[in-house]
């Protein structure tokens, strides 16, 4: 038997994801200001529109949590 080999992930992937998240969070106040609804209604609709993506992630992972990382 051979030991399983780990797949290498690019070293730039983590910082790119952090940068993308920061940009998305940075645009949040602009979207809120341009919205015709109040802050609570805007937050509700954002959550409602995010539910299909959240459900897809839960379905793709089988509804299980991943193994804790050492890092």
- The rounded average pLDDT for each run of 10 residues, N- to C-terminus, in the chain (71 residues) is 68 89 89 86 90 88 74 70
42 part of a folded domain: yes
Q: Are 42 and 31 in contact (CB under 8 A)?
A: yes
Q: How many domains does the chain have?
A: 1
52 part of a folded domain: yes
69 part of a folded domain: no
Q: How confident is the model at residue 35, as a pLDDT? A: 85
Q: In which domain, by residue range, is 45 found? A: 37-63
48 part of a folded domain: yes
12 part of a folded domain: no
- The upper half-sphere exposure of residue 31, i.e. CA atoms within 13 Å in the direction of its Cβ, equals 11
Distance CA 14, CA 34 (A): 31
Q: How confident is the model at residue 44, as a pLDDT? A: 92
On whether the pTM is more than 0.75, the answer is no
């Amino acid at each position: 038997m051979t030991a399983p080999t780990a797949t290498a992930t690019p070293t730039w992937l983590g910082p790119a994801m952090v940068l993308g998240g920061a940009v998305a969070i940075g645009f949040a106040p602009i979207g809120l200001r341009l919205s015709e609804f109040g802050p609570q209604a805007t937050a509700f609709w954002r959550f409602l529109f995010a539910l299909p993506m959240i459900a897809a992630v839960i379905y793709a992972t089988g509804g299980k949590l991943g193994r804790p990382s050492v890092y």
